[in-house]
Amino acid sequence: MKVTAEKNDKVAKMVFASVYPHYLNRLVKNGRTKEELDKVIEWLTGFDAVKLETLIEERVTFETFFNNANIHPNAHLIKGVVCGYRIEDIADEFKVYRQCRYLDKLVDELAKGRKMEKIMRVEK
């Protein structure tokens, strides 16, 4: 599937705080913890638990969330299909959409029981 400008804009305008509880519920249901979720988010974005809570309280959009993030230099190693979109094929012009799918993929891997060392990718 191809990402459109409309799809990118729709995701960019979504409020991160409205999605975070869904990530957390999915992970808790699968035996993972809030701390693990926050650790994965920190790896991807550079936001520690305090900053993450602030962003949630401020109800920032995904666009603001990712524009303020320091995306990990190894984020490009996150590959695969999420919601029918192959992450590595998402065009550079849809940066927010790609970054959102990076996060979705990390949450998926965490929910499926993948080890933290594997989720937080290291360049080989």
Q: What is the pLDDT of residue 113?
A: 96
Q: Domain 5-119: which CATH class?
A: mainly alpha
Q: What is the pLDDT of residue 2?
A: 83
Q: How does pLDDT run across 11-36, given as a tens digit for each residue?
A: 999 999 999 999 999 999 999 999 99
Using CA atoms, how far apart are residues 55 and 60, in angstroms rounded to an integer?
6
Using CA atoms, how far apart are residues 77 and 81, in angstroms rounded to an integer?
13
3-state class (DSSP) for residue 121: coil
Across the chain, which distance is largest between two alpha carbons, in Å? Answer: 38
Q: What is the pLDDT of residue 1?
A: 76
pTM greater than the 0.75 cutoff: yes
Q: What is the pLDDT of residue 122?
A: 87
Using CA atoms, how far apart are residues 92 and 77, in angstroms rounded to an integer?
15
Q: What is the pLDDT of residue 116?
A: 93
Q: What is the mean pLDDT of residues 80-91?
A: 92
